[in-house]
Amino acid sequence: MARSGCVYLLVGFESGNQTTLQSIRKNFNKTLNYRDLIRSLQKRGISTQGCFVFGFDHDDSSVFESTVQLVQDLGVDIPRYSLYTPYPGTQLFARMQAENRILSYNWNDYDTMHVVINPVQMTPDELYRGFKWAYKETFRMGRVLKRVSHPDIRCAINFVGNLCYRIFVKRLYSDPIYASPYSLHDPGTPPTASHWIIPEEEETVCPG
């Protein structure tokens, strides 16, 4: 990738919990390899935007602090957090509906920045507060400086990227659109059963 000119790569780490990764069928992500992957990319001059998701069924209130610390320990150049969001028409959305866990059918809430499902091990408010706290803690200036202290051009680029997220954190705490976990006064209505075509899993047959 470096030879092709790649200098920036977004990586969906999703979680630091291997059980969680297996539950979302992303067990090809190996948490034990995260550090080596980031170091290998940095060695080649490639900055990493590492993405982590909150609100999985295995997540409890300890996930926020552990993820913030993991981001620091790994030295993720530019971290990004989002909330577990089942998009309409997917099997996950159908499962959440069947379990009566959909909180909002207002599609404006489906931006991965709002809580649209009822989490298993937290309340929606706890999940949202933890999500905001993780952003605020991760982009404190002291943490930023530790993550971007590489003596090369990446340092300046990554520093600017982190500054942009610091601006976003201020908006996360001040913009009315982020005041509540979801659109409490306009949660929308469920679509009819025939509205979405849910793809069925196909059996994979290896050619013999």
The pLDDT value given to residue 190? 87
Is 102:190 a contact under the CB 8 Å cutoff? yes
Residue 202 has pLDDT above 70, yes or no: no
Q: Model-level pTM?
A: 0.87
Taking domain 2-178, whether its CATH number is 3.30.750.200 is answered by yes
Residue 183 has pLDDT above 70, yes or no: yes
> What's the confidence (pLDDT) of residue 199?
59
Mean pLDDT across 87-96: 92
Could you state, in order of their start, the residue ranges of all structural domains in the chain? 2-178
Both tokens of 187, joined, read 């949660």
**For residue 23, pLDDT beyond 70:** yes
| Local confidence band at 205 (pLDDT 50, 70, 90 cut-offs) | very low
CA-to-CA separations, 207 to 33, 200, 203, 204, in angstroms, rounded: 31, 21, 13, 10
pLDDT above 80 (res 100): yes
> Which amino acid does the sequence have at 191?
P
